[in-house]
Amino acid sequence: MKNAFQCVVALMFFCVLPVSAEQEMDFRSELHKTRFQSLVMELRCPKCQNQNLSDSESSIAIDLREQIFQMIEQGKTDQEVVDYMVARYGTFVLYRPQHSSATFLLWYGPFILLALGLVAFIVVVVSNRKRKGQSS
């Protein structure tokens, strides 16, 4: 019984170890830390389906967080960091893609479909009323 308890405790320790083993980043200023936190929340992990860099524990997310940290400490602007990530991994890394002809349907497609559905609904309702009016 005691041996089983020790195994469970050891297993729990090794499960928590990778999360706590992540290196703590020392920022030069509080502004750099705030910028870093903002960027890792706004950029998506290229490996994960729908996690930002802050939430992901994949190896590429860890590497990208380190890259962002280094770029901020080198004096790069937020836009330079984002441009670098987009150039390297494509627009997939952006949680809020830019407005362009390539993303037109992404931004406006749901509204277009909603409008088409509303028009179809109105046409069906009006035609049913006309049919009911003619059959009376």
Summarised one tens digit per residue, pLDDT across range 3-60 is 665 655 555 555 444 443 344 778 888 999 999 999 999 899 888 878 888 888 889 9
| Statement: 26-98 belongs to CATH 1.10.8.640 | yes
Overall residue count recorded for the chain in this entry:
136
Instruction: Report the C-alpha gap between 44 and 61 in whole angstroms.
Output: 9
What are the residue boundaries of the structural domains of the chain, listed by start?
26-98, 99-136
Q: Judge contact between 65 and 51, C-beta under 8 A.
A: no
